[in-house]
Each structure stands twice: as C-alpha cells, then as structure tokens.
Chain A
C-alpha cells in the first residue's frame, strides 16, 4: 500500500497530515456529541432508535436459534414419548391439587385485605401481578464503563423509564431509557447504581453501591459483581447470609424486593451476593412502581385556612390533676376533713381537690 508522505513535519516529529487533521476534527465532533448529551435525562434520539433496531435484529436471531433448538428437542423426545406422557399426567394431578390450594389461599388473602381495608397496591408489587411487561434481554453489554442490558420491550409495550426490572430470583435493575421497542436496564452492579436496602431480619439500613471491579460472580450468562453496602445505619451490622431487600427509601423502588444475601468480601467490606446472579438472567419482568404520594401533592379539598407562616397559636392544654378527682357517686359521702391538730395551726390552707382547665395557663406552640 502506498503511503502518503505529503505531510508537513511539525514540532517533535509530528507531521500535520490529512489524517491527523481529520482525526482532530472527528475528535471535536465526538466531544460535541458528548457535550450535547445531558447524562441526567437518559438517552434520547438516535441512540434509542439504534437500540430498537439492535433489539429487533438480535431478538429475531435468538428466536431462530431457539426454534432450531426446539426442533432438535422434539426430535429427540419422540423416543421417550410414552414415559413422558405418564410423567406429565402425574404432574398434572399434583398441579390440580396445588391449584385448588392456591385458589383457596387467594380467596382467603382477598378477605384479609378486605378486612384490613388495604389500599390497592399497598402490598407491594406482588399485589398487582397483572401490571408489567415480561421482556427478554437481547444484549449483554459488558462494557468497561457501564453495566446495562437491553430488553426487547419499549414504549410500544407500555414500558417507561423508571420501571423496576426483576426476575424470579430478585431485583435486577431499573429501566433508565426507553425506545419504541427496547429499553435499557441499569444493573445493580453498575458504578452509578445506588439503592437503599435493608436487612430483612436485622432491619439494618444501608446503601447498595455498584462496584464493577468487585469479585465477580461467574454464574449464569450475565456476569454480575457483588455490590458494596455503604452508609450502614443501625445498631448492629448485617448478619452473614442475611437476606437483603429494598427499603423503599427514596421512592425509586418498592420496599421488600429481594436483592441478595449479605456477605463479607475479601476486603472486609459488606457485600451482597445478588440473587439475580444465581441463575441466567434472560427474562425480566419490567413493572411500574408508583411511590407513596406526599400529602402536598394530593391535598384535601378544603383543609381550612392555614395559619400564617411563622405565627404562633394558643392551644389550651388541660393539665393532669394534681390529686384524684372527687368520686362521682353521690351516695358515698366525702370523708370529713381531719381535725386540726395543734401542730397544724400554722400550716397553710389545703389546696383545692383539682385544678380546672379554665384555670390552666395556655401553652405557646410555635409553628415552623
């Protein structure tokens, strides 16, 4: 290949050539791309569109591979069809018993919730199992800077940014950006991931901090590291092997979602062995979560005129009686006062039986 030697040699032996100028220009363009993007609002525009295209193409490829695997499985299972039918019949009979039990328990649970007058959804995400989308993770992004996954469900399927991603083993992450047919899930071990958690038995609260450089758990297809527990709040430390669940603080995640098991890392720091890493992370459930609405966001219709700010109100408070109140039964006469003895002559008169509320001085209650 012929080389161009038309460059002009600059200081330090660096030749100013077309390639160098193009490289500098493209680097400036890349810098402009970085500067135009606001990292706090998630990805928009061309990135989401390319994500959609990638999710569709990779998803179609995976489906075709699954189809081939299913065909080969069917061909091999033809030899054991009779035994398989008997096994399925036995399992079916067992499942019928479990179904009856499940229906009875569901009915009992509904009655309990009715008796407790629980608000819809107050029991957490399990209370609304019909809400949410099941998606397949089509891209496992093992980049050195970010730990995200691409799921093949997006805005067309009702997914929104902020949805919680869980699988059968626990919390996986959170949707941080959404395209039309794809969504990007930020994993728990991403460096930017901060999740309020607590121990299920010790009730110790902490922040689960993503640590991509931590000891990886080589389990399943997705490599998930063990995040750290920081800012542990509580009288005691978490217990070894204790189940760590989300605490619900901050309003991004519902409380009680299983995250993993607490363990002490080699560096002595508390880490969490993620439950999501105990099995291949292939399908996730993307569920919405509406945090508890603060009272300021949904005020009552007519709460009355609020007191002016920085004002004080007089609140009459009835103090506790100094002595026991007189008996209300009229049939029982009060005992006669004791006769004064010679020693009591100089004593002050006895106090009244009780202090009436009208006589109590009002307390000053400040309002911030």
Chain B
C-alpha cells in the first residue's frame, strides 16, 4: 500500500486502468468457463460497461478505447454464442452515452458520476431491448440482461477508482 502511494500519479493511473481492463476481461471470459452458477452473467456484472463509462468520463478521445470495447464486445458475442456485433454495439453505445452523461456533469464526484452511470445503464438497457430481439431471431429474454445491468450499477461505486482516476486529485 505504501509503495502504491509512492508511485507517481501517472503510474498509479496506468496501474488502475490496467486492473480495470483485466476485471472487464475476466467478467467476459468467466461466464464461458465451467465454473458454476456464480460465474454466470448474471450474477457477474457487465464490467465492460464500467470501462466504457470510465473511459468516457475520463475524456478518452483516441481510437484505442472504442476499439478495445469493440473487441471485448466481439469476444463476448463469440463466447456467449450470440450473433457477432450485439455486445459490441451495446458497449460502444455505453461509451457514447457515457460521454454525453459525463459532459452533462458539471461537478464530477461520486454521486453525480454514479447517477450518470445509472442513466447510461438505463439507456443501454433500452438499446439492448431494441437490438436483441431481431438479432436473436425475434425473441430474447431481457430479464437476465437487466439483472446484470442492475448488479453493474450497484457495484459501480466500489470499482470507480479503477476506471475514473483523476491523477493527483485522487
């Protein structure tokens, strides 16, 4: 803990973001492994949406963030047996909506960012509800997705330091 505290703000930020990316990757892969019902999604959160919102709130303007989200979405589509592109659209929509929500937030703190994330999750659920039925052949159960989104929103304050790192102000 002391060593982490001694790290430069830039190194701390890189470490936190790497940990956040690893958590998102684990949450994508774990449901596909025979680890039991607790490793399914839900109850596992849609951790990629944490990364999408966090990167958007941090003002990521380069091409890497949406490209990583696109790849993570394709990976989840492949592992879940769904059509390629479904989760990619969901995660990229979370990124774009998160940018809008973060831009609308005047004084970023835990409560405003949590509220922005909850609003983003609601919008993402609506988008998934529109896209999923035709993509899956006319019928799709949105209940599990909504439950996973709820878990994701509830856990957001715990993981916020991994995705929204404000340099020396942290």
Contacts and interface: CB of A to CB of B under 8 A. Distances in A.
Interface of A: 1, 3-7, 12-15, 17-20, 22-24, 26-27, 29-34, 37, 39-40, 43, 46-47, 50-51, 54, 58, 137-146, 148, 150, 184, 191-192, 210-213, 216, 218, 221-223, 282
A34 B92 contact: no
A141 B79 contact: yes
A3 B32 contact: no
Given A18-B63, A30-B88, A216-B37, A143 B141 contact: no
A75 to B, nearest CB: 25
A7 B65 CA distance: 15
A39 B83 contact: yes
Contacts of B5: none
B131 A34 contact: yes
Contacts of B136: 39, 145-146, 191-192
Nearest to B56: A19
B85 A34 contact: yes
A141 B80 contact: yes
Contacts of A141: 31-32, 79-81
A58 B78 CA distance: 14
26 contacts: A1-B10, A1-B14, A4-B61, A12-B100, A13-B100, A14-B103, A20-B61, A23-B95, A24-B92, A26-B67, A27-B96, A30-B73, A34-B83, A37-B85, A39-B135, A46-B84, A54-B78, A139-B34, A141-B79, A143-B80, A148-B80, A192-B139, A212-B141, A213-B144, A221-B36, A223-B36
A6 B42 CA distance: 39
Given A14-B99, A142-B40, A191-B140, A3 B59 contact: yes
B137 to A, nearest CB: 4
B92 A144 contact: no
B39 interface: yes
Contacts of B140: 145, 191
A51 B99 CA distance: 34
B144 A145 contact: yes
Could you say which of A22, A50, A210 has the most chain B C-beta atoms within 10 Å of its C-beta?
A22
Contacts of A24: 92, 96
Contacts of B74: 30
Contact of A14 (B14, B78, B83, B100): B100
B86 interface: yes
A191 B100 CA distance: 33
Give the size category of B's interface with A: 35 or more
Contacts of A144: 41-42, 80, 144-145, 147-148
A144 B81 CA distance: 11
A39 B81 contact: no
B32 A139 contact: yes
The list of the 8 closest CB pairs from A to B, nearest first, reads A142-B40, A143-B80, A33-B85, A13-B103, A39-B137, A213-B143, A23-B66, A30-B85
A145 B82 CA distance: 7
Contacts of B73: 30
A3 B62 CA distance: 9
A145 to B, nearest CB: 5
B13 A27 contact: no
A20 B31 contact: no
B76 interface: yes
Given A140-B33, A282-B34, 7 more contacts: A26-B70, A27-B92, A30-B85, A33-B85, A37-B135, A191-B141, A211-B141
A81 to B, nearest CB: 32
Contacts of B40: 140, 142, 223
Contacts of B51: none
Nearest to A185: B81
Given A146-B136, A221-B34, A37 B84 contact: yes
A277 B85 CA distance: 31
B153 interface: no
B135 to A, nearest CB: 5
A48 to B, nearest CB: 10
Nearest to B94: A23
B89 interface: yes
B79 A18 contact: no
